[in-house]
Amino acid sequence: MNKRGFWKTRSGFYLAAMGSAFGLGNLWRFPYVVGENGGGAFVLLYVLLALLVGLPLLIGELMLGKFTRKGVVMATAEIMSSHAKFFRWTGRFSIVLCLVVLSYYAVICGWVLYFLTQFWIVLWAPMGAQPGSLGLLQNNGWLQMGLASVHILVAMTVVMRGVQDGLERWIGAVMPVFVVLLTLLTIKSLALPGAPEALRFIFYPDFSHLGWSSMSHAIGHVLFTLSVGFGTMVTFGSYLRVDEHIPTAGFRVAVMDTALSLIAGILIFPIALSASNAPLTDPGLLFEVVPRFLFSMSGGVLFGLAFFICLYLAALGASIGLLEVIVSNLTDVFKVRRLASVWLSGFFVLLIALLPGLSTTLLKDFNLGKKSLLENFDSILINWCLPIIALAFAFTIVRGLSQIDKKKLFVDTERIESVALFPHWTFVIKWIVPSLIILSLFLQTLGLFLN
Ligand code: PHE
């Protein structure tokens, strides 16, 4: 008997997939990676690669889940049973990736919680209360760890309740509120004096600003923000209802997520450019520039509180996606109870989080280059490991599923466009996706020697 849950409603899947896709990647990571890579030209590259690499892989991952009705570890092991171990283990690698990514993601979520409380305190405190800053927080490693732990406990509580009772109901309640808040904030931000300059920065493509690693930064970020290469979408696909058309579902998720990233850029850059001439390339961009500006603006405290509540809910949705994958795979593979695997996963996430969490205090001597451990976690995992795992996924989808099965999963005879698109998707996932990923890794490696 199949004991896996199914999404009760069609919107259940969309809400969970969007909740997992939309997170700190869009609001925290996208703006500073765009800044780091010079603006408009990178945004263009990013959108192109989202279509050419992100979307085809997203569709493929959903197919793996729907076809096997299993989590990513069992799914890849099953359909690649006649291939080399490396490919049978794609699922395992992606779970390790989830675990490590969630550990530093939780630290950043802790930063969000910190600013949320600062805005709350200033809102209620008597005149003149001094809010904290990112610098202050980073000087206190144990506070960072404490906040990351609170965040993980919240995510664990939701995941503990299982796919339908936890995820579906919860994210369903949060998403609409979130979209309304974000829209209001963006309108407000577009009225700022820095808006015209910001829009030019985001949308005017000056290709001379692209560097050797820009392409892999774009691919890494596309995969990260669409939650592809982590096995998340395999798990979500395994809960898909039989009548759900995968390419349509994948397309909607990819378009909405990309649109939300662009909106996040339109929201953040005017604030950043109106606030100061601060460099836009730092992971602290969101947390250094935005709160300082908001605290000094009249009515900014309430605005800021709304903004950080919004950000926290997005980050929580994404964390839940990551944790759900780890938990459901542990449950599948080791046949442990769900509760036990939730506690076990939470424990390991926090254990690993000690490295990025204490990277600005106790472990600050372990910096590599000019970057802290946390920044290195982010760039090594997302710009190197994730594209390599995605490459293995592309191979798994191409070789593990037969052409007939792929066609069955892709084509819906009532949707004539799916018949026409199937050969294109097959071509892209087989040739274009691997070529682009390999090219980007090659250029990035070259950049290491030439810079
Ligand atoms: N896509 C999320 C974000 O943009 C991060 C994430 C990755 C969530 C993988 C789940 C799985 O923040």
Cα–Cα distances in angstroms (integers) from residue 298 to residues 115, 120, 182, 294, 304, in the given order: 18, 15, 19, 8, 11
pLDDT of res. 2 = 39
Residue whose CA lies nearest to ligand 1 atom number 9:
227
Ligand 1 centroid to residue 226 C-alpha, Å: 7
In the numeric block, which tokens belong to residue 188?
């407000």
Note every long-range contact of 84-88, with CB atoms under 8 Å and residues 24 or more positions apart, other chains counting. Answer: 86/392, 87/392, 87/395, 87/396, 87/399
Let me know: does 28 contact 227? Beta carbons within 8 Å: no
Percent of the residues in the chain that have a pLDDT greater than 90, as a whole number: 53
Instruction: Determine, yes or no, domain membership for 412.
Output: yes
Q: Read off the pLDDT of residues 188-200 as tens digits, 9 standing for 90 and up.
A: 889 888 899 999 9
* 232 alpha carbon – ligand 1 mean position (Å): 9
Report the C-alpha gap between 255 and 5 in whole angstroms.
26
Residue 375 lies in a domain: yes
Using CA atoms, how far apart are residues 10 and 18, in angstroms rounded to an integer? Answer: 13
Average pLDDT on 51-56 reads 97
Confidence band, pLDDT 50/70/90 cuts, at residue 3: very low
| Alpha carbon of 101 to ligand 1 centroid (Å) | 9
On whether the CB atoms of residues 264 and 197 are closer than 8 A, the answer is no
Q: Where are the beta strands (DSSP E) in 349-444?
A: none
- Percent above pLDDT 70 for the chain: 93
Which ligand 1 atom is at minimum distance from the Cα of 229?
9
Give yes or no for a contact between 265 and 31, defined as CB atoms under 8 angstroms apart.
yes
Asked if residue 123 is part of any domain, the answer here is yes
Q: Does residue 4 form part of some domain?
A: no
Is 5 among the domain residues?
A: no
Residue 180 within any structural domain of the chain: yes
Residues whose CB is less than 8 angstroms from the CB of residue 258 and which lie 6 or more positions away in sequence, other chains included = 47, 50, 225
* Token pair belonging to 110: 């802790």
> What's residue 177's pLDDT?
74
- Note whether 102 and 349 are within 8 A (CB): yes
Residue whose CA is closest, atom 8 of ligand 1? 318
| pLDDT, position 236 | 85
Least confident of 249-253, 301-305, 396-400: 301-305
Low-confidence winner among 71-75, 185-189, 222-226 (lowest mean pLDDT): 185-189
Q: Which residues pair with 371 in a beta bridge?
A: 368
- CA 20 / ligand 1 centre spacing (Å): 6
Residue count of the chain, please give it.
451
Q: How many domains, in total, are found in the chain?
A: 1
Atom of ligand 1 nearest to the CA of 232: 11
Ligand 1 centre and the CA of 248: distance in Å?
20
Instruction: Give, in order, the Cα–Cα distances in Å from 203 to each of 28, 31, 90, 198, 288.
Output: 19, 13, 37, 9, 24
Is residue 1 pLDDT above 50, yes or no?
no
Give me the pLDDT at residue 415, please.
85
Q: DSSP class of residue 209?
A: G
| pLDDT beyond 60 at 110 | yes
pLDDT in tens, 333-358: 888 998 999 999 999 999 999 988 88
Segment 345-374 mean pLDDT: 86
Domain-located, residue 1: no
In whole angstroms, what separates CA 62 from the centre of its chain?
16
Residue 243, pLDDT score:
82
Asked which of 191-200, 243-252, 299-308, 327-336 is least confident by mean pLDDT, the reply is 299-308
Tabulate helix, strand, coil % of the chain (nearest 5). Answer: 80, 0, 20
Instruction: Write out residues with Cβ below 6 Å of ligand 1.
Output: 20-21, 23-26, 224-225, 227, 230, 232, 318, 321-322
pLDDT for 6 equals 65
Residues 6+ away with beta carbon under 8 Å from 375: 283
Residue 94 sits in a domain whose CATH number is: 1.10.4160.10
Residue 84: strand, helix, or coil:
coil
Q: What is the DSSP letter of 278?
A: -
Does pTM surpass 0.75?
A: yes
Q: What residues make up the domain containing 352?
A: 10-450
Residue 3 lies in a domain: no
